[in-house]
């Protein structure tokens, strides 16, 4: 589904990702965990074509991605739900969902999907005509995920859906993600600092530190503590 091979990228002269490789198989949820500043959001920016890779290749469903515009990437079936649950605060909840479907032309299907999403989330359905900025943090995260889903993606990129949310809201968001994954079979690349939550959702987990993948395992084979123990590891020191 997605193959990232030897990708390097950064900002100006500062390289942040150093020859990073990973794969997401069809129907798989891969979690990428790691400390602040590791390069997790930078990786998602490269995949969504907001940031140029200086080296390496990215293949999505068999074809290179690195010449596509960000809009073309969405059309090809990859959607990003960015960090910080960004919604358009002055637009209504419903208008935010409509915006997520901008690349599509199947009007009636879009309307039906928006209704289905709102039906699944009564808390935001009640506020469908209110400005999105008035929703709670958890509700805004649910809305941001819904907006990404409205482009009908086969791969969803999620950047820290738990960030800044109270534990009860984190649980709600993850319950929602679980049923989404189960009902659609969508592939997910989840970036998350909350390893416990990531392990509840993912099939496979990787640790990104300092722009490199230093650890990878099947979720069923590891504990959160084991994953966390790799957080401050760097290449070459893995078994020191
Ligand atoms: N627009 C930018 N310009 C310059 N440097 C940046 C920019 N965005 C990020 N960086 C730097 O790149 C590095 C990786 O940042 P990135 O946002 O990818 O980290 P992250 O793993 O997502 O961290 P967090 O968990 O805090 O979100 C950091 O050192 C950061 O300061
Ligand atoms: Mg980030």
* pLDDT for position 236: 55
Among 33, 37, 214, say which to mutate for ligand 1: greatest number of ligand atoms within 8 Å of CB: 37
Question: CA-CA distance, 126 to 163, in Å (whole number)?
Answer: 24
SS (H, E, C) 120-159: HCHHHHCCCCCEHHHCCHHHHHHHHHHHHHCCCCCEEEEE
Full DSSP string of 201-239: H-SEEEEEETTEEEEEEEGGG--HHHHHTTTT--TT-TT
Question: CA-CA distance, 120 to 114, in Å (whole number)?
Answer: 10
Provide residues with CB under 6 Å of ligand 1.
11, 16, 34, 36-42, 83, 193
**What ranges do the domains of the chain cover?**
2-228
Ligand 2 centroid from CA 108, angstroms = 35
For the domain 2-228, what is the CATH superfamily, name and number? Answer: P-loop containing nucleotide triphosphate hydrolases (3.40.50.300)
* pLDDT for position 59: 98
Per-residue pLDDT tens over the stretch 57-115: 999 999 999 999 999 999 999 999 998 878 999 999 999 999 999 888 888 899 999 99
Per-residue pLDDT tens over the stretch 107-162: 889 999 999 999 988 889 999 999 999 998 888 999 999 999 999 999 999 999 99
Q: Enter the pTM of the model.
A: 0.93
Give the DSSP H or E segment for 170: helix 167-184
pLDDT at 240 over 70: no
* pLDDT for position 33: 97
Determine the average pLDDT of the residues in 175-199: 94
* pLDDT for position 85: 74
Ligand 2 centroid from CA 7, angstroms = 18
Residue with CA at minimum distance from ligand 1 atom 24: 36
Q: Please report, rounded to a whole number, the percentage of residues in the chain having pLDDT higher than 70.
A: 98
Beta strands 29-33 and 204-209, pairing class:
parallel
- Find all residues with CB under 8 Å of 113, minimum gap 6, and list them: 101, 149, 150, 152
Per-residue pLDDT tens over the stretch 195-233: 999 999 999 999 999 999 999 999 999 999 999 999 887
* pLDDT for position 239: 43
pLDDT at 185 over 50: yes
Beta strands 212-218 and 204-209, pairing class:
antiparallel
pLDDT band at residue 182, thresholds of 50, 70 and 90?
A: very high
* pLDDT for position 164: 85
């Amino acid at each position: 589904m997605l193959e990232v091979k030897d990708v390097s990228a950064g900002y100006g002269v500062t390289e942040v990702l150093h020859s990073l490789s990973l794969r997401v198989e069809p129907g798989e949820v891969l979690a990428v965990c790691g400390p602040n500043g590791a390069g997790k959001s930078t990786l998602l920016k490269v995949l969504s074509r907001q940031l140029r890779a200086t080296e390496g290749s990215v293949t999505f469903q068999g074809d290179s991605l690195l010449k596509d515009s960000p809009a073309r990437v969405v059309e090809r079936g990859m959607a990003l739900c960015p960090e910080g649950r960004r919604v358009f605060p002055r637009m209504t909840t419903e208008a935010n969902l409509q915006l997520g479907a901008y690349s599509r032309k199947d009007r009636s299907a879009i309307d039906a999907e928006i209704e289905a999403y709102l039906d699944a989330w009564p808390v935001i359905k009640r506020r469908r005509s209110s400005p999105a900025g008035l929703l709670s943090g958890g509700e805004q995260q649910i809305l941001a995920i819904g907006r990404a889903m409205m482009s009908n993606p086969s791969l969803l990129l999620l950047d820290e859906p738990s960030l800044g949310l109270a534990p009860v809201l984190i649980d709600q968001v993850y319950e929602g993600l679980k049923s989404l994954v189960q009902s659609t079979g969508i592939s997910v690349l989840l970036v998350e600092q909350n390893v416990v939550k990531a392990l509840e959702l993912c099939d496979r987990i990787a640790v990104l530190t300092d722009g490199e993948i230093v650890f990878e395992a099947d979720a069923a084979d590891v504990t959160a503590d084991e994953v966390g123990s790799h957080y401050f590891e760097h290449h070459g020191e893995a078994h020191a």
